[in-house]
Chain A
Amino acid sequence: MDAEITPIDPMLDDELAPESPPLSATMWMRENLFSTKANTVLTFVAVSIIAFIIRNVVAWIFAPNRGWEAVATNLRFYMVQAYPAGPEPEIPNQFVRVWVSAGSIVVLAALSLAAWKVGTKVAFTKLFATIRAAGAAVALVAFLGPPTQNLDLLSGIDFPVIGPLLAVAGSLLGFFIEAALMTGGRLVAFLIGAAIVVGAHLAAKATKPRGDDYGFHSLWMVFGAGAIVIVALWVVPFGHYFFLRGEVGFETGTIATSTSGPWTVIFLLAVGGYFLARWIVRLLGEKSLRSLLVLFWSLSLPVIVLFVLRDPDFNPAKDGGGFDFLPATDVWIWFIFGILGGLVIAGLSFPRLGELGRAASGLLVIGSLAMWAVPMLMRVRLIGFLFAMFAVGAQTFAGDRRARVRYVGLWVGLTTVLVVLFAAINTQSSLFIQGKTFLGGLTLTFVLALTSILLSFPIGLLMALGRTSSMPIFRVMSTMYIELVRGIPFITVLIFFDLILILFLPGNVEFDSVTLAILAGTLFSAAYLAENVRGGLQAIPKGQYEAARAMGLSTLQLTVFVVLPQALRAVIPALVGQTIAIFKDTSLVAIIGLFDFLFIADKVVPAQTIFLGIKLENIVFIAAVYWMFTFSFSRASLKLEKKVGLGEY
């Protein structure tokens, strides 16, 4: 890649770290593996444990009666569950919506890679070293793996009773016998691994003299991997079965043939978008692109879920549905709260209003609370409450004209978005779906996790402030809530919302179980988030408060401009950890019967006629997918921590 791409963050490359002189292989082993007698024993124990695990795992994965077909065939099911995909006549194929959603996320990600200039330079030497290690791993696994030929040697000792060492001995013996007979897949895999090691080693040696500067941009690796996957989709027939009307058919349509086209288009769009965005950044600078992308990202979840996937039926020709109800309520709500409310907020942020403004916003808060006592539309109450909160905040932004304009603009934009979203929620979906909800599989897992964490963030923040506040009633109530929720397991909260909540609401209010699960997740994780944020609040030195007070900031200004930015920065690792925890916790909705990722692997696929009883394969597959996501989250958070300068003392 061209020379202008430099590491974005000097902290990311460790040129400042002192380089230890490379040890020779024997020296390294003596130092790290055999330094003392006890160490040698430990090494042997660890090696036999690893060998034992590898051997059994490989044996399990490649056993001839493994039902991996169940996973491959149900991949679509795992991703989006029963999203209408045709080809039945009465259910029109709506799968293009899934592709649009997936595509917009991938393209947004590619644009963001360009706008934030993600990636570093990868030296060829390091790349080849990594490939060499991977090849060595392949060779090692092949070497330790179980016999591919039934040589009738040491049979019956596969199981843990004999102990790892004998198993290793058996597999080594088997390997040499297989090698002598020149048979078996193990030998082929071993030879491929060995070839990779030799080739990569030679390449690494050849590139070494040119140093670490001789390399390429790391994104090329991402694009290359993507290209390999795309090509593989065209070449390899992944999945040998297909689904039609709940029946499983064979061979005619494979997963690969139905997904290769869309994925290719998405991939090309993403790569093209990346270079386009690079060009725009070079031309106009990155600032405007970044803010645009932040806007897109924040709108992406509701737009994709409510509009693209759910498809609200705004068809004006249809009776009952359509646009005709919009002017009646929603447009008025938008006008009253968005436009008139915007004017009120603009007035309240007038600097010379003084105490009167505070009194007025206080009255607005009381009024917004009183709205809950009067029967009216729920969305009006919610927007009214938000309006009161914005009115209270208005004085904080009094002063600078530009800040006032931006504040009012934010309010008008927010109301517009909210009104549109509420209208979409209240409109019938035009989808013809078989289950209760159009969400399922991994999509549902992601929607649950993201929505819960996003909605719980403001609640958790308020509760953390409440718990550290000097106002006793706020403190006592926040503390009680937090401690109660943290004391009970998530599954009881889920069951509570699933069964009980409906009893407390008026008869005409209905929630589907996905909404209930989101509510449960939100209120549950809010308590944990509050504790995380509280940790950050306590880490702020007292001098900060005193300095802010001395400058004459109000409590709100002190909180928004001084305390929270520091507190949130300090708790980034904890917040990411909480996000990961929520992502893992969404699997619990399988217990209350939502068709999430786990439920499909645990209950649905093992019940299909031709895959009857194939369960562990499915569980292992979803475990691998969960692991992939959580592991990359935690790695990304480590990088983020480094970037904002945390964890360095």
Chain B
Amino acid sequence: MAIQIEEPRQRQQRVPPWRNVTFLKWAAQAVFLFAILAVFWILGSQAGSNLEDRGIDVSFGFLNTLPGIRLAEGIDVLPATGGRALYVGIVNMLRVTVAGIFAATVLGIIVGVSRLSKNWIVSKVATGYIETVRNIPLLVQIIAWGVVITTIPGNLGFETGPFGCTDPVSGCEGWFFLSNKGASFAWLFPADGFWQWFAFLGVGVAASIWVYRWRYHLKEERGDETYALTWGTLTVVAFAAIGWFVHPIMGFLGYLWGWISELLDSLPVWSLQAVLALLAVFFAGLWIKRFLDDRRTPAGLAKLTDDDIFRIGSAAFAGLVGVIVFFSLAGISEWILNSGRDLFSVMDDKFEFLDGGAPLSFGRPSLVQPGNFPNYGDTGLTMSKLFFPVFVGVTIYTAAFIAEVVRGGILAISKGQSEAGLALGLSRTQLLRFIILPQAFRIILPPMGNQYLNLAKNTSLGIAVAYPEVVAVGQTLYNQTGATIPVITLWMLFYVSVSLFISAIVNWYNRRVALVER
């Protein structure tokens, strides 16, 4: 008796398009994309005719003309071009951002740890601080600080008190001044030999890492304490101290910078274009290779979905776009070459072989009275009355959020970790160094990066107290020239690149410390 075997169907019946999920999905997306593009097109054409009707300037020409504005503070208070004015605004914004990030981190860590303190009153003070500060809008706080600094009792320098200045007309020095002109305090300033010393210090840091590894290795071999961290720190300190006197020898780097600068100057533009295009192709290929490796199983390459193919296709497309952009727009490469050349020639100027004074100079704040009104001299570090409210406002506000991040990170380490560490015989320091902090850092860093990003964006509120950062300068510019659209485009470009920069750092760190699962 023959066993009847059902013939396998030779050809699978073709799915009609209206039942084909892949087709339907792509159709829906195409319709949606088309609708969005249509909306943009309609809005764009409308904007074109509107702008023509109203005679509004949409060109970026204002970047190269005299804006006729005066900025309240910055590296150049009478900028010659609109572009220069925006650049001054960017520098002001970065100044307050960097200073704020440092101050807010320190304050936030102190408050966050205080909130976890076993001391009842300390933890209550920290809680009160956090609950007060983060529940009041930042703009209200900045405006309040602005009012505080301008209505502070007493004019420049207090009439009495050990830190005050009794006779500003003849001029005098102090340690810390606070008045309606802002704050001024003692500070270490980089001086002539700073960069050479800094380079020497860089060598020192590299050496100290090597020393640390060596001592650590020794400890693992011998099993007794070798004080690796102390050795490492002492190495840096020793380099800093020796460098203070011998830093002029680092001036030879100046020849190197000069040589690089000349090299960049002599390079033809097409060579950089070729390098950039090759890099674009290389990174696209690298991405595709990694993606495919990711999809590879021991049984071979997994079946690619249409989404996967789309991703690979867009990576290849991005690479292609990179090649086309770099070859068609020679200006980009030229700009990179020129700014690189300028950067290195500036660095060349900073380094003088076997020449240079002290790397750092110490300055105390002073009061001077050139005309009718006293003002701060330029010997100390001065925060103007515009800088002060923005800086204090964003610092205090962000510190409250950073404190919560720090607290959350430390609390997230389960108690079992410390107990297990102690049971292994680790000391308190070792426990903190090897068990708690590495894990807490992994948790803390990403939200911390977010807070830094928020701080950078929040500095834009300086516009409320007329601090000339990039938004305020932009507003002044478009009030003068009417170029609203270009200014807002530049704002968005600037802030998006700042945030992409910060999140790139955070993502890189995240990938580095991410737990490898499975």
Task: Tell me the complex Cα distance, A359–B17, Å.
Answer: 12
CB distance from A613 to the nearest CB of B (A): 9
B66 at the interface (CB under 8 A from A): no
Chain B neighbourhood of A373, CB < 8 A: 38, 42
Which residue of B is nearest A488, CB measured? B495
Q: Closest Cβ of chain B: how far from A508's Cβ, in Å?
A: 11
B residues apposed to A, CB below 8 Å = 18-19, 25, 28-33, 35-36, 38-39, 42-44, 46-47, 50-51, 53-54, 56, 117-122, 125, 131-132, 135-141, 143-144, 147-148, 151, 153-154, 158, 160-164, 305, 307, 310-311, 314, 457-458, 460-461, 463-464, 471, 475, 484-485, 488, 491-492, 495-496, 498-500
Residue of A nearest to B135 (CB): A630
B148: chain A residues at CB < 8 Å are 616
Contacts of B498 in A (CB 8 A): 487
Cα A46 to Cα B115 in complex, Å, equals 12
Is the beta-carbon distance between A474 and B457 smaller than 8 angstroms?
Answer: no
Enumerate 17 A-B pairs (CB-CB under 8 Å) in ascending A order.
Answer: A32-B118, A33-B119, A43-B119, A156-B160, A161-B161, A470-B305, A473-B33, A476-B314, A483-B496, A489-B457, A495-B471, A500-B484, A503-B54, A584-B136, A585-B137, A623-B140, A631-B135
Give which listed residue, B29, B460, B499, contacts A491 with CB less than 8 A: B460
- Given A484-B496, A619-B147, decide whether A43 and B121 contact each other with a Cβ distance below 8 A: yes
B139 touching A472, Cβ below 8 Å: no
Question: B140's contact among A46, A477, A503, A626, by CB below 8 Å, is which?
Answer: A626
Q: How far is the CB of A140 from chain B (nearest CB, A)?
A: 12
Interface size class of A (residues with CB under 8 A): 35 or more
B contact residues around A564 at 8 Å (CB): none
In the complex, how many angstroms separate the beta carbon of B148 from the nearest chain A beta carbon? 7
A162 located at the interface, meaning its Cβ lies under 8 Å from any Cβ of chain B in the complex: yes
B120 A33 Cβ-Cβ under 8 A = yes
Chain B residues contacting A637 (CB-CB under 8 Å) are none
Selecting from A82-90, A109-117, A587-595, the interface stretch reads: A587-595
B461 touches A491 (CB 8 A): yes
B158 CB contact (under 8 Å) in A161, A486, A631? A161
- Bound together, the chains give a CA A484 to CA B471 distance in angstroms of 17
Whether the pair B471, A492 counts as a contact (CB closer than 8 A) is yes
Q: List, in ascending order, chain A residues with CB within 8 A of B39's CB.
A: 372
Give which listed residue, B18, B135, B144, B496, contacts A355 with CB less than 8 A.
B18
Question: A50 at interface (Cβ–Cβ under 8 A)?
Answer: yes
Tell me the bound Cα distance from A622 to B39 in angstroms. 42
Tell me if A588 and B461 are in contact (CB < 8 A).
yes
Whether the Cβ atoms of B135 and A626 lie closer than 8 Å is yes
Q: Is A474 in contact with B143, judged by CB distance below 8 angstroms?
A: no
In the docked arrangement, what's the CA distance between A572 and B345, Å? 55
Contact A471–B29 (Cβ < 8 Å)? yes
In the bound complex, how far is the Cα of B136 from the Cα of A598, in angstroms? 11
Q: Mark A358-397, 1 if CB is under 8 A from B, else 0.
A: 0100100110010011000000000000000000000000
Q: Is A296 part of the binding interface, using a Cβ–Cβ cutoff of 8 Å? A: no
Least Cβ distance of A483 to chain B in Å? 8
* A159 contacts partner chain B, Cβ-Cβ < 8 Å: yes
* B135–A504 touching, CB < 8 Å: no
A598 to B146, CA, bound (A): 14
- Given A43-B121, A630-B135, check contact A487 B495 (CB 8 Å): yes
Tell whether, in the assembled complex, residue A32 and residue B35 are in contact, meaning their CB atoms are under 8 Å apart: no
**Residues of chain B lying within 8 A (CB to CB) of residue A489:** 457-458, 460-461, 471, 495
A634 touches B36 (CB 8 A): no
Set B141, B164, B307: member contacting A623, Cβ < 8 A: B141
Instruction: Decide yes or no whether A496 CB sits under 8 A from chain B.
Output: yes
A303 to B210, CA, bound (A): 71
Chain B residues near A43: list those with CB within 8 A: 119, 121-122
Closest B residue to A369 using CB positions:
B35
Given A359-B18, A488-B495, A619-B147, also A500-B488 (CB < 8 A): yes
Contacts known (A46-B122, A161-B161); A484 close to B492, Cβ less than 8 A: yes
Instruction: Say whether B122 contacts A161, CB under 8 Å.
Output: no
A473 to B26, CA, bound (A): 9
- Chain A residues near B28 (CB-CB < 8 A): 362, 471
Q: Which of B54, B121, B153 gathers most chain A CB within 10 Å? A: B121
Query: Are B164 and A161 in touch, CB under 8 angstroms?
Result: yes
Residues of A within 8 A of B (CB): 32-33, 35, 39, 42-43, 46-47, 49-50, 156-157, 159, 161-162, 355, 359, 362, 365-366, 369, 372-373, 470-474, 476-477, 483-484, 486-492, 495-496, 499-500, 503-507, 580, 584-585, 587-588, 590-591, 598, 602, 615-616, 619-620, 622-623, 626-627, 630-631, 634
CB of A372 within 8 A of CB of B119, answer no
**In the complex where A473-B32, A503-B485, A619-B147 touch, is A492 in contact with B492 (Cβ < 8 A)?**
yes
Q: Which of B50, B120, B132, B153 contacts A32 (CB 8 A)?
A: B120
The answer to whether A492 and B488 have CB atoms under 8 Å apart is: yes
Residues of B within 8 A of A499 (CB): 484, 488
In whole angstroms, what is the CA distance A355 to B18 when docked?
9
Contact across chains for B120 and A623 when beta carbons are under 8 A apart? no
Known: A33-B120, A598-B137, A616-B151. A495 touches B488 (CB 8 A): yes
Q: Which residues of A contact B132 (CB under 8 A)?
A: 627
Q: Is the CB of A488 within 8 A of B140?
A: no
Q: Which residues of B contact A488 (CB under 8 A)?
A: 457, 491-492, 495-496, 499
Assuming the contacts A473-B33, A500-B485, A620-B144, asked whether A491 and B463 have C-beta atoms less than 8 A apart, the reply is yes
B25, closest chain A residue (CB): A471
Q: Collect the chain A residues with CB atoms within 8 Å of residue B117's CB.
A: 42
- A32 and B119 in contact (CB under 8 A), knowing A161-B158, A584-B137? yes
Instruction: Give 10 new A-B contacts, CB below 8 A, not counting A488-B491, A505-B46, A598-B140.
Output: A32-B118, A35-B118, A46-B122, A50-B125, A161-B161, A369-B31, A477-B33, A491-B460, A504-B46, A598-B139
Measured between beta carbons, the chain A residues less than 8 angstroms from B46 are 504-506
Chain A residues positioned under 8 Å from B475 (CB to CB): 495
Query: In the assembled complex, which residues on chain A have CB atoms less than 8 Å from the CB atom of B137?
Result: 584-585, 587, 598, 626
Once A159-B161, A355-B19 are accepted as A-B contacts, the answer to whether A587 and B147 lie under 8 Å apart by CB is: no
**Chain B residues near A505 (CB-CB < 8 A):** 43, 46, 50
User: If the complex has contacts A39-B119, A495-B475, A616-B144, are A590 and B495 also in contact, measured as CB distance less than 8 A?
Assistant: no
CB contact between A42 and one of B36, B119, B305 (< 8 Å): that residue: B119
List the 4 closest A-B pairs by CB distance, nearest first: A487-B499, A32-B120, A473-B29, A584-B137
Instruction: Considering the complex, give the chain B residue whose CB is closest to the CB of A606.
Output: B147
Task: Choose among A473, A506, A590 the residue that contacts B139 (Cβ–Cβ < 8 A).
Answer: A590
What residues on B are CB-neighbors of A471 within 8 Å? 25, 28-29, 307
C-alpha spacing A104/B300, complex, angstroms: 67
Known: A504-B46, A587-B139. A472 touches B488 (CB 8 A): no
Contacts of A365 in B (CB 8 A): 31
Residue pair A486, B29 in contact (C-beta under 8 Å) = no
CB neighbours (8 Å) of A491 from chain B are 460-461, 463, 471
Question: A156 vs B125: C-alpha distance in the bound complex, in angstroms?
Answer: 27
Chain B residues with Cβ under 8 A from A626's Cβ?
A: 135-137, 140
Please name all residues of chain A whose beta carbon is closer than 8 Å to the beta carbon of B160 when the two chains form the complex.
156
Decide: B485 and A634 in contact? CB cutoff 8 A. Answer: no
| Contact residues in A for B314 (Cβ distance below 8 Å) | 472, 476
Residue of A nearest to B484 (CB): A499
- State how many angstroms separate the Cβ of B31 from the closest Cβ of chain A: 6
Most buried by A among B28, B135, B463: B135
In the bound complex, how far is the Cα of B121 from the Cα of A47, in angstroms?
8
Q: Residues of A contacting B136 with CB < 8 Å?
A: 584, 623, 626-627, 630
**Complex formed: what's the CA distance from A496 to B474 in Å?**
12
